[in-house]
Structure 1
Amino acid sequence: MKINKAAIIGFGAIGCVYGKKLYKLMGNNFAVVAGGKRAERLRQNGETINGEKIMPFVVEPDNKGWKADLIIFSVKNYQLDSAINDVKNLVAPSTVILTIMNGVSAREKISVAYPNNTVLYGLSKADSERTEDGINCTWEGVIQFGEADNTVMSDEVNAVKELFDTATIPNEVCVDMLRAIWIKFMRNVSMNQLSAITGATYGGFINIPELKKALREVMEEVMSVAQRKGINITKDDIDESVKAISGSDPLGKTSMLQDIEAKRKSEVDSFSGVIIEEGKKLGVPTPWNDRIYLLIKIKEKLY
């Protein structure tokens, strides 16, 4: 299998980072899926990433003449239902779908919508934010992706890896993708949400002992849920997650803090909301997430 045409839905702070590289490699064989005013703005103004403007090919949802070999989902979780519908005309029987969205539930929802297609697990790690001048990316990070178990890599995984390698997109196929996704989820549930409540940048998690303590306790709560689900996450993973923050830009902001500051809807339902629901099903107490959920919901209602 070879990927000749690729599309991305969700051309925001993260999607742009990787979409730019696919655009440079593939030209008009790479498309951004967008409709309405968003499509019009992209066609007229393009997008600027680290001072460089690109003008990607835009495919609207009602376009029935353009099929993709690969579709990447990079939307917010609350946009997923509409995104699933928006790409339906791009999906062929052999189309591979990859989600690099936050959380742990997107891949399952996409699989239900497209049961006959290969839907890969995935996540992205990058430091990027939208500013008045466009997208500012300080770290490209890496896309980790694959099937649930990649002891033997499938043709679809190999094809996506070949594309990413050629486009110089940093990537890694993890043997155990469920573990990788839950480690990233643990970081999102803790750091993203605590930053949204406190306003702390990455530097706050490095320099404020009380915030670092709260960070660890929220991670431990997520770890307890994951372990009850049979996912191998330990306190060593928490230690490594806390240690990794020291390599971040101290003034950098999590995506959820950016959303709260811009008075946008947050992904709290896909973070604390999921942990609370899983905790109830599995008999795991989630007091930190119970309170975090309420506080972020209050913040949103105060916009």
Structure 2
Amino acid sequence: MRKTVSLFAMLTALLVLLAACGGNQTGGSAGSSGAAGGGEKKTIKFGATAGPYSDMVTKAIKPLLEKKGYKVELVEFNDYVQPNKALANGSIDANLFQHILYLKQFATDNKLDIQEVISVPTAPMGLYSNKFKTLDSIENGSLLTIANDPSNLARSLLMLQSMGLITVKKDVNAATLSEKDIVDNPKSLQFKPVEAASLPRTLDSTALAVVPGNFALAAGMDLTKALKLEEMAENYRNVIAIKTADKDSQFAKDLKEAVQSDEFEKTIDEQFKGFSKPQWMTGK
């Protein structure tokens, strides 16, 4: 009887020990759902388009998240479709490449449950010239290249209007705005729509070009050398997006806190010159 009790006690102790070991094997795996511990994500797969925004992830965001105990993996994309689909299906945890208007429209059109976390400093569109040094020096009849896709075309025309170079119809739908909606063109500028990615190359053969910030940077252009940069509307600033299901997660809170930090803004000031800061940053 004594041996039976002793054997039972040994088995009970062994089971308690195994249970304790098993209880320590929680969380910590890549892709598990924020900061170190508590079943939250320890690894964040961050999608971004190749260029300035993948640089922003690696230089300005990743180091701050690593200080919080995360491992950050960058996944680069070369189009504007796959980053949102990868986010929705869980292949990545966050992305950075698009403004809020595009995000909302894409999510609606494709029935994706994704949303923004916070806006970030964004490369503004600009008017560039190798011929003229100021807006006042632009000659009548000058040829100007402009993006031919609806989104960038409308944005370009509104920017030129804000500079006083043209006037477009009042109450026109921004989604369909084109050079046909110009009602006043005091310098008789000639417009030549081309693919947005090729706009920087046109400066060798045309007097002026309106170039979106990401394409200007990809071509090695200096944003600060533009004749004038756009006064960017908040809804054109790029945002970090996540799955809606993760909106209250610890990693989403830590991500937002990292972007709102003084260290993040310091990196932007030092390495992303010419980027337009969102109102939450300029007003703090």
TM tier relative to shorter chain: under 0.3
TM-score (norm 1): 0.23
Higher RCO, Cα 8 Å, sep 6+: 2
Q: Which has the larger radius of gyration?
A: 2
